[in-house]
Each structure stands twice: as structure tokens, then as C-alpha cells.
Structure 1
Amino acid sequence: MRPLVPLLFLLLSAVVSTSHALASAPSSRKALGGWTPIKNTDDPHVREIAEFAVAEHNKQANASLALSKVVKGETQVVAGTNYRLVLQVKDASGARVKYQAVVWEKPWENFRQLTSFKLVKS
């Protein structure tokens, strides 16, 4: 039993020094559930999510908005991915307005849901 004591001490020392090094190292990852900026808002998948958001809003609100562009966006990893997008759209009069849309997507289930669509005040 005595020979195990030095081995346990060495093992414990290694674990403590490793955990201290990890705790003091800057994290390159966002906290789970945090929002991460979308670098390329022209990405075809981001555009597809934006088109879905506008179409779903039009259906729910009996509106006729048309997507002009994705101004900016962020993603959040949840049970799937949330996309929070600022969209520039044209309304029925042709005026350009901005909305913030949140879409929840689970591609492995072929699932998308518009969870929020709000006017962005200028």
C-alpha cells in the first residue's frame, strides 16, 4: 500500500497543475449558449434562413414584405441552431425597413421555426 502514496501524489499534482493551467488560459470558445457573429451574411444558407423568416412572417401576419438583404446576424447553439438576423426588407409601399428575426433550425429533423420577428427602430 505504501508504494501507491508517491504515485497518487504525482497523479494529484499533475491534475492540479493541468486544471490550473486550463483555468488561467484564455478561452477561444464562446460559452455554451452564447451568440456568435455570422462572418458571411451572404452565405447561401443564411440567405435561405432569412427568406424563410420573411415568408413565414408574411404568412402569419398576412403581410407582403420582400427581403432585400441580411444586414447582420448571429448564431446560437441550442438543441439545433438559433439564427438572429437583422434583415432589410421592402414593405408594400416600397419603403425599406429593418426587422430582427430569430429562426430556430434543426436540420437533421428538417425543422425550422420563426420564433421572433420584430421591427428594428431606427
Structure 2
Amino acid sequence: MLHVLVSLCLLASAHADKAVLGGYRAQPQLQNDAHVQEIAEFAVQQLAASEATTLELADILSVKTQLVAGTNYQFELELTNGLVYDLTVFESLNGREKQLTATKQLPARSNYSSSSSSSGSSSSKQSQRQIKASSPSSDGYRTVKMPMLDDGTMFAARETAQYLSQTSNSLYPFTVGEITSAAVKQDGQDESTYVVRVRLDQQSLPSATVDAQVSRDNMNSYKVMQITKPRYLSSTGEKKS
């Protein structure tokens, strides 16, 4: 009888473990979660340290979780240089310990999709323009030295803030907090393209950084052509790590 009771207890324990532990589950609802964003940033920083280079997160393409003695987060991440990685991070139950446990480079996706045309509905334009902006390469771009910013760079940053304010669901508008990097390319006699990295503030909400490509036409009109997903910062204004 005692042997039967022990067997039943072990069987119940095994089923309980299966309810808690298991395989990875897709969690698309977590892609915009601030804590998951923090873990993804940590993964990219650890990858950069292991490769002795500078890497920055552009977008979380997918996230899966697995409950173990803590949580495994499996990400498919796109970086600002266009590379895509499958990265896995283990986080302890108390959240104090994180470790990058697996890395795998995936086939790169196209950094840019085609820009929106002047016709069509605003919702169509928004879906076409929510794309990834890569860092400027050497093909015609001139780096704008900090803090000596020209008027065009300032207008490009303000256009970026205005664009996100119009397309965001938030009640609070974005404002330019700081331009951390910028480059400009002359496209014609009176036309230019700016690539800016901007910290945007949103009243009492956490600030965010974005990379954007903004065009200026010969009528001195600015238009956001490409933009990354906002990367939110801590309440102190420092990037979460």
C-alpha cells in the first residue's frame, strides 16, 4: 500500500512539473512589453561584448518563453546594421540574474521597404513607413558633429517627433529631448536626406530613442521616410540594460 501511495505521489508531481515546465510558447503580445524590451537590449549588449563590437537593437521580430527554474526568453532580433539573430536569455526567478545562453545568426532581412507614395490613405502610408532605419553608410552621407547641429537636422528631429505623435496611440505627444547622432546627404541642389538618432520625451512617461530617415524637398518640406520602433529608456533617461 505504501508503495502505491509513493507511486501516486511521484506521478502527481510529474504532472505538476509538466504544467509549469515545458517547451517554448510564442508570446507576440510581449513584443512591446517594457521588461521584455529590457531583456532584448541585454541580449544584444552581451552579443556585442562577445564579438568586441558595437551593436544596437532595431526591432523584436518574435519572442518565445519557456518556464524553467526561471524563464528562458528566445528572441528573433533585428539589429540596426540589418543583421538578424536568434538569441536566448535565461532570467532567474527573482529577476536579478540574466545570462545570454544561445546565439545564432539568421539570414538578414531587407533593411528598408519602399517608401510611401503621395497618394493613398493615411493608414496605408503609416503601414508602409513603419520600417527599419539603418545607420548611415559612407555613400554620400556627411556626419553632423555634435553639438553643432544645423537647422535641417533640428527640423528632421522635430518631424520625427511629430510623426510618432501622429501615429502613436498615446495621449501625450512626443517632443525632441536630444539628438544623439546625425548625418546628412545632399540629394540635389535643394534636396537632402537626414539620418538622425533622437531621444524623444513624452511628459511623465519613459523616454524613447528612435532612428529615422527624413527627406527634405526643394520646398523645404520634411517627411519621415523610414523609422525604427521606439526603444524605451528607464525613468532616469538611461537606456535599460
- Tell me the TM-score normalized by structure 1: 0.67
Q: 1:66 aligns with which of 33, 56, 67?
A: 56
The amino acid that maps onto 1:55 is Q
The amino acid that maps onto 2:63 is G
Q: Which secondary structure state, in structure 2, belongs to the residue aligned with residue 118 of structure 1?
A: strand
More helix by share: 1
CA distance in 2: counterparts of 1:79 and 1:67, whole angstroms: 27
Residue 107 of structure 1: CA displacement?
4.3
Q: Which secondary structure state, in structure 1, belongs to the residue aligned with residue 89 of structure 2?
A: strand
Q: In the alignment, is the contact (CA less than 8 A) between 2:20 and 2:67 conserved in 1?
A: no
Q: In the alignment, is the contact (CA less than 8 A) between 1:30 and 1:36 conserved in 2?
A: no
Within 5 Å, which residues of 2 pair with 1:83-98? 83-91=73-81, 96-98=82-84
Residue in 1 aligned with 2:42? Answer: 52
Q: In the alignment, is the contact (CA less than 8 A) between 1:73 and 1:84 conserved in 2?
A: yes
Residue 109 of structure 1: CA displacement?
5.8
Within 5 Å, which residues of 2 pair with 1:76-115? 76-91=66-81, 96-108=82-94, 110-115=96-101
Residue 97 of structure 1: CA displacement?
1.6
Q: Deviations over 1:70-118 (max 9, x none)?
A: 0001000011000000001023xxxx12101000001416110000121
Number of residue pairs the alignment of both structures matches: 90
- Tell me the TM-score normalized by structure 2: 0.35
Higher relative contact order (CA 8 A, sep 6+): 1
Moved more, 100-109 or 75-84: 100-109
Residue in 1 aligned with 2:106? Answer: 120
CA distance in 1: counterparts of 2:84 and 2:30, whole angstroms: 19
Change (3 A) 1:30 1:68: farther
Q: Deviations over 1:9-66 (max 9, x none)?
A: xxxxxxxxxxxxxxxxxxxx97732111112301001100100000011111102111
Q: Which secondary structure state, in structure 2, belongs to the residue aligned with residue 65 of structure 1?
A: coil
Q: Which secondary structure state, in structure 2, belongs to the residue aligned with residue 53 of structure 1?
A: helix
Unmatched 5+ stretches in structure 1: 1-28
Q: In the alignment, is the contact (CA less than 8 A) between 1:70 and 1:85 conserved in 2?
A: yes
The amino acid that maps onto 1:102 is T
Change (3 A) 1:50 1:63: same
Within 5 Å, which residues of 2 pair with 1:21-40? 32-38=21-27, 39-40=29-30
Unmatched 5+ stretches in structure 2: 1-17, 109-241
Identity, in percent, stands at 34
RMSD: 1.9
Q: In the alignment, is the contact (CA less than 8 A) between 1:35 and 1:74 conserved in 2?
A: yes
Q: In the alignment, is the contact (CA less than 8 A) between 2:69 and 2:93 conserved in 1?
A: no
